[in-house]
Chains A and B, each alone.
Chain A
Amino acid sequence: MKLDPSIIARIQFAFTVSFHIIFPTMSIGLAFFLAVIEALWLKTQKSVYLEIYKFWLSIFAMGFGIGVVTGIVLSFEFGLGFARFAQMAGPAIGPLIALEVLTAFFLEAGFLGIMLFGLHRVGPKLHFFATCMVAIGTLISASWILSANSWMQTPDGVAIHDGHLTVLSWRHVLVNPSWLYRLPHMLTAAYLTASFMVAGVGAWYLLKGKHQHFARTTLALGTAFGTVLIAGQVFIGDILYGTMLKYQPSKMQAAEGFWEKQSQSPAPYYWFIIPDQNNQRNRFQLGIPYLGSIWLTHSLDGRVEGLRNTPRDLQPRMGMVFYAFRIMYGLAMVMFAAGLASLWLRFRGKLFSSRWFLWILVFMTPSGIIATLAGWYVAETGRQPWVIYGILRTVDAISPVPAKALLSTLIAFVCVYAVFITAFLVFAFRIIRRGPGEVPPHAEASGSVKNAFRPYVLDSPERLVNSSITQRS
């Protein structure tokens, strides 16, 4: 069997970047959540906030570490699998990635140690400052990366002469047409991810009848944040939809599942299709009448443009974009419904006792991560066949590397990342199973190498509360 290097390079990048994005999404969201929790602790002095802080700090630390390591791999992959892309796009996106390191990484690196290990070594206000700096660092990091990726989606501020790219305006490269909407969309996705994660863990403890005070507080906070954030996310998503329809119509045409140049009027909203790309039609389609016109054209009888408006050789694969979009959008609606239900149950005083709702929240714990991944699949697969939209095709961006070399590195990445995700899940579930405020015997320094690799919630809450009280007195 003859291996196609362009396919293997794309699978490799898709695998590594899909794995990577899980962790920054968690880190960005949890860093903000931790900053809020520490502020509440400083303001109220209630020990439950310190318990929450320390519990999620452990999970944040693991996710942050894996996120940094897997992110570095991506930079190297530009050279490994996409050297022609790196050569061409380097003048525009190279400085953006370098600036991410100089600004965000340096800021995070400077304060992460204080955040993780300084709770009873520095004053509480300095520690809070460190937490805020790490949270701001994750935000700055996301800004640079989203700027680089958005430039690939909607390139601006450059000129091309003889295949070489020259930057004409850094302002336009940085603030390209989609960045202003994609950045808040991604940040809100990260904050939503954290909100549903903490709410889900709180719901799990309530169902098990454990750690009631901790669980009630995290559940109340998670659902309150999630409810407010999902409304904003829907609004931002709709504006982004309009922007991408203007700059990348083929992506949105594929996302809606229509092939005809103009759909019927009124247009249905498809939830299930079996697309036939070769014959440019759907073999089967199932949708809700009128809803396509209402949601996509904001009118009762509007028509929706189909993928045949884009020349065949410039079309993305409809199936992938369509279903990724449905997963993202479907989960957003479920989050919206869960938010409304939480408000209603809060109003009725039954937020902690409605077991059906607690189970829903438990199942929704990874909903933010799944929705974010699906969103990125829409963004990246919908941009195909371009790697830089309208400038460089993906097949022309591949390195002149033998397919076997790419395959061997892909296998290596799969093996190493399998270890990463297994370790993360094992340790995270162990921390969750153990619960807040319970310190295992091996948490104390013993000099044992074996013990050094065991996870634990940093220090005991009693000791920390006592320590902070001592510091203040």
Chain B
Amino acid sequence: MGNGNQLHRLQSMTAALVGLFFFNAIIGVFGLRLAIAGLAAFVLGAVAVSVAFPVQGAES
């Protein structure tokens, strides 16, 4: 149980750090090219997750 919680926290922190990187990449902190690449990666990732993991009971 304890290990499960720790793993969950670690996963959440990793997701937050990855999100922070994408947020800054998208607002152009790392240059326009990386901003466009960050935007494309984020959008493709979001679409891929939405399509690959259809939520149970929903029609999407």
Note all chain A residues with C-beta closer than 8 A to B56. Answer: 349, 352
A347 interfacial contact with B, CB 8 Å: yes
Q: A346 and B53 in contact (CB under 8 A), knowing A217-B59, A235-B39? A: yes
Residue of A nearest to B54 (CB): A220
Name B40's closest neighbour in chain A (CB-CB): A231
Closest 9 CB pairs of A and B: A220-B58, A216-B58, A220-B60, A340-B19, A224-B50, A216-B57, A238-B27, A217-B59, A231-B42
- Asked whether A337 lies within 8 Å of B19 as measured between CB atoms, the reply is yes
Contacts of B29 in A (CB 8 A): 294-295, 298
Q: Which B residues are closer than 8 A to A by beta carbons?
A: 11-12, 15-16, 19, 22-24, 26-31, 35-36, 39, 42-43, 45-47, 49-50, 53-60
| A234 adjacent to B60 (CB under 8 Å) | no
Given A231-B42, A231-B46, A235-B39: A347 and B53 interface contact (C-beta under 8 Å):
yes
The reply to whether B60 and A295 form a contact with Cβ atoms under 8 Å apart is no
CB distance A235 to B60 under 8 Å? no
Chain B residues near A346 (CB-CB < 8 A): 49-50, 53, 55
Which of B19, B43, B59 has most chain A Cβ within 10 Å? Answer: B59
Give, as a whole number of angstroms, the nearest-CB distance from A204 to chain B: 16
Is A295 touching B27 in the complex (CB atoms < 8 A)?
yes
Is the pair A298, B31 in contact by a Cβ cutoff of 8 Å?
yes
- If A217-B60, A298-B31, A343-B49 are given as contacts, then 16 extra A-B residue pairs at C-beta distance below 8 Å, sorted by A number, are A46-B59, A49-B59, A213-B57, A220-B55, A232-B39, A234-B23, A234-B26, A234-B27, A235-B36, A235-B39, A294-B24, A298-B30, A337-B16, A340-B19, A341-B15, A344-B12
- A212 to B46 CA separation, bound complex (whole angstroms): 24
Pairwise interchain contact B57-A221, C-beta atoms closer than 8 A: no
Chain B residues lying within 8 Å of A228, measured Cβ to Cβ, are 43, 46-47
**B46 and A227 within 8 A (CB):** yes
CA distance A40 to B42 in the complex (A): 24
Does A369 have its Cβ within 8 Å of any Cβ on chain B? no
Residue of B nearest to A49 (CB): B59
Bound Cα distance from A213 to B56, whole angstroms = 10
User: Are A221 and B28 touching (Cβ within 8 A)?
Assistant: no
Q: Does A336 contact B (CB under 8 A)?
A: yes
Q: Who on chain A is nearest to B48 by CB? A: A343
Given contacts A219-B58, A220-B55, A238-B35, contact A232 B27 (CB under 8 A): no
Q: Give CA–CA (A347, B45) in the complex, Å.
A: 11
How many A-B pairs have beta carbons closer than 8 Å: the answer is 96
Chain A to chain B contacts (Cβ below 8 Å), 21 pairs: A216-B55, A216-B59, A220-B59, A220-B60, A224-B46, A224-B60, A228-B43, A231-B22, A231-B26, A231-B46, A235-B39, A237-B27, A298-B28, A337-B19, A339-B46, A340-B19, A343-B46, A343-B49, A344-B12, A349-B55, A351-B55
Interface residues as binary, A340-380 with B (CB distance below 8 Å gives 1, 0 otherwise): 11011011010110000000000000000000000000000
A234 CB contacts on chain B under 8 angstroms: 23, 26-27
* Interface SS, B side: helix
Q: How far is the CA of A339 from the CA of B42 in the complex (A)?
A: 11
- In the bound complex, CA of A336 to CA of B36 (Å): 17
Alpha-carbon distance A216/B11, docked complex (angstroms): 25
- In the complex, what distance in Å separates the CA atom of A144 from the CA atom of B26? 29
Task: List the A residue with the shortest CB-CB distance to B8.
Answer: A348
Q: Is A48 an interface residue (CB 8 A)?
A: yes
Instruction: Take A294-B29, A298-B28, A346-B50 as given contacts and tell me if A232 and B59 are in contact as well, using a CB distance cutoff of 8 Å.
Output: no
A295 CA / B35 CA spacing, docked (Å): 13
User: A231-B46, A347-B53 known; A333 and B23 CB under 8 Å?
Assistant: yes
- Of all chain B residues, the one with the shortest Cβ separation from A341 is B15
Bound-state CA distance A295–B26 (Å) is 11
Give CA–CA (A336, B19) in the complex, Å.
8
A227 to B42, CA, bound (A): 9
**Chain B positions within 8 Å of A294 at CB level:** 24, 29
Determine whether the beta carbon of B43 is less than 8 Å from that of A231. yes
Question: B49 contacts A347, CB within 8 Å?
Answer: yes
Question: Which of B15, B31, B35, B57 has a CB less than 8 Å from the CB of A340?
Answer: B15
